[in-house]
Amino acid sequence: MKSQLQALLEQALASLSSTLGREVAMPSSVQIDAAKDARHGDFATNLAMVVAKPLGQPPRAIAEALLKHLPASPLIAKAEIAGPGFINFFLNADAFTSLVSDIIAAGERYGRDDSKRRGKVVVEFVSANPTGPLHVGHGRGAAVGDCLARLYEAAGWDVTREFYYNDAGAQISNLGASVHARIKGIAPEEAGWPENGYRGDYIVDVAKAYLAGETVIADDREVTAKADADDVAAITDFAVAYLRREQDADLKAFGVAFDVYSLESALYTEGKVEQTVAALIASGHTFEQDDALWLRTTGFGDDKDRVMRKREGGYTYFLPDVAYHVGKWQRGYTRAVNEQGSDHHGTIARVRAGLQALNLGIPKNWPSYVLHQMVTVMRGGEEVKISKRAGSYVTLRDLIDEVGRDATRYFLTARKSDSHLVFDVDLARSKSDENPVYYIQYAHARICSVLRQAVERGMPFDAAAAGTTLHRLTEAPEKALLAHLAKFPEMVSVAAEQNAPHSVAFFLRDTADLLHSYYNAIDAAGNRIRFLVEDDADLTRARLALVVATRQVIRNGLALIGVSAPESM
């Protein structure tokens, strides 16, 4: 519907521009949005206000002229001018009823934009250090990042999901030292335990696996434990592979998969870090001070200059990040999105500054970032802080084991990423209307139950026959549901553009609410609305078509956040 309105408005603008002798093309800033209040119509546009200046007339005058030049269309019942020059469109009832057939015909493609390919986008998310199990923050990053990737695919992007392992640096040395200590029989509370050692029970598991001579495979890389219990380098290599395998298993249980795995260590072994340093020096944006090498990042919007190479040797952590993103750019990604925890906020300016200093033609705000806030896990009204497996934090696997994958994914996606999230385990496990994921899935299952009953009563749904009966959908709950289903494609498009997976969760909750209300509604005559009307086959066909279309929208929306659509509950 939105695309049809845009085509009509483009024709009106072209006709008006020709009449006024001023050629004005449809600006990209024009908005055609679903109205938030039904009293203001179904859609509204700001076109008149955007083109008023180039056309040389006040916005309301332009709005009136646009309506005069608007081609006649069976889509529009009426149009009104509001405020400083908004145009509100009220659509014909047939426009909504025909939507039912469109949704059923499109199936899982409904809501997806197949009209054009937008280019390549790489979504980097999770990117946990391979030093322990994934915690709930990683879980939120996994849920949000995977949903973003699904939204971009629906919006027409060629998407690559990427995981970047920070498998170099002090944390990896601490991991190796921790496993080595456990191999030697040293516990965290005993003398000889590394000062910054990892204390979780998983370190014991790694040590036992190493002593047993196990072979682990992580991302097609095979590592076998050596017989030498004092070879710290070998122990470290084994521990990293072991924990990468464990993280992969957790992500698989979460329904998340990646196309590309990148290693920080490879940036050093392949010379990418040194190449980046040399290029930055050649750019003239570096300087020596206090026996350290600095990058003049203040020239690119940072609040202070940053050290690249430390006085004692070795590079600061943002330098390999710059080298890594150069690789993304060289791989042809016109859009790059990093989904990370809010603690990465400080790296944004310096990474972008490093990329700008290289003069590679990279846009100023590339890559873009989606930062999520922390997660607090609650059970029985109290905060849960410790997992036996991890030793000091709640793991993603803990949540999956407690409430299941579907509830975990929904709850971690359902709030805006930059908001602190409270994960209520008791609510996520409950089978009540208060649990949004249960409420939504039950709506889907309820429709499936109605369709099974239709078959049992000899009234199976027939899409072809239903197409001629949709004019019978005249009750208020039906109109409300139709208007809502029509907004799904726009919601998907806006959610992708604004990096807002939570919008999908909100939309699904509203869809379920309308479906359940429809199921229990009273018609205009004061009678309970029935989907299966024994003495009115056409009305039954129309209502079954509406709920089938609703089921499809719920299913498509759940797929965007990686949640299943059960047929019975």
Mind listing the pLDDT tens digit for each residue in 234-279? 999 999 999 999 999 999 999 999 999 999 999 999 999 999 999 9
Structure tokens of 65? Answer: 């002229």
Count of beta carbons in the 10 Å neighbourhood of residue 526:
6
User: CA 537 to CA 523: how far, in whole Å?
Assistant: 17
> CA-to-CA distance for 423 and 379, rounded, in angstroms?
9
- The answer to whether residues 469 and 545 touch, using CB atoms and an 8 Å cutoff, is yes
Q: In this structure, are 255 and 281 located in the same domain?
A: no
End residue of a domain, out of 237, 270, 303: 270
Asked whether residue 398 is assigned to any structural domain, the reply reads: no
For residue 217, the SS3 value is strand
Percent share of the chain, pLDDT over 70 = 99
Q: Is 267 exposed, middle or buried (0-12, 13-18, 19+ CB in 10 A)?
A: buried
The overall pTM is greater than 0.75: yes
Give the pLDDT confidence of 132-144 residue by residue, as tens digits.
999 999 999 999 9
Instruction: Clarify whether residues 138 and 153 are in a common domain.
Output: yes
Confidence of residue 400 (pLDDT cuts 50, 70, 90): very high
* Contact status, residue 125 vs residue 141, Cβ threshold 8 Å: yes
Inform me whether the pLDDT recorded for 389 exceeds 80. Answer: no
| Full domain range(s) for residue 213 | 125-270
Residues 513 and 525 both lie in one domain:
yes
Distance in angstroms (rounded) separating the CA atoms of residues 394 and 388: 9
Q: Three-state DSSP class for 292?
A: strand
Same structural domain, 195 and 282: no
CA distances from 475 to 41, 43, 428, 465, 544 (A): 18, 21, 34, 20, 14
The reply to whether 36 and 137 lie within a common domain is no
Domain stops at, among 368, 395, 413: 368
Instruction: Provide the pairing of β-strand 86-91 with 76-82.
Output: antiparallel
CATH code for the domain of 480: 1.10.730.10
Degrees to nearest 5, angle at CA 316 with 312 and 318: 170
139 and 55 fall within a common domain: no
Looking at the structure, do residues 168 and 244 belong to the same domain, yes or no? yes
Residues 179 and 254 occupy one common structural domain: yes
Is 391's pLDDT higher than 70? no
Q: What is the mean pLDDT of residues 425-430?
A: 96
Last residue of a domain, which of 66, 91, 116? Answer: 91
CA 69 distance to own-chain centroid: 40
**The total number of structural domains that make up the chain:** 4
- Within a domain: 424: no
In this structure, is residue 119 part of a structural domain?
A: no
Residue 170: which residues within 8 A CB-CB, separation 6 or more?
196
Which pLDDT score is estimated for 284? 96
The tokens for 464 are 């072809």
On whether residue 6 sits in a domain, the answer given is yes
Name every residue whose Cβ is closer than 8 Å to that of residue 267 and which is 6 or more positions away in sequence. 273, 320, 323, 324, 327
Q: Is 112 within the bounds of a domain?
A: no
Pairing label, strands 382-384, 421-424: unpaired
Do 70 and 138 sit in the same domain of this protein?
no
Average pLDDT value for residue range 275-285: 96
> Is residue 215 domain-resident?
yes
Whether 279 is in a domain gets the answer: yes
Tell me the pLDDT tens digit for each residue of 491-531. Answer: 999 999 999 999 999 999 999 999 999 999 998 889 999 99
Domain shared by 462 and 529, yes or no:
yes
Residue 322 lies in a domain: yes
Residues 352 and 222 in one domain: no
User: Do residues 356 and 441 both lie within one domain?
Assistant: no
Alpha carbon of 65 to those of 81, 192, 479, 567: distances in Å?
11, 83, 31, 51
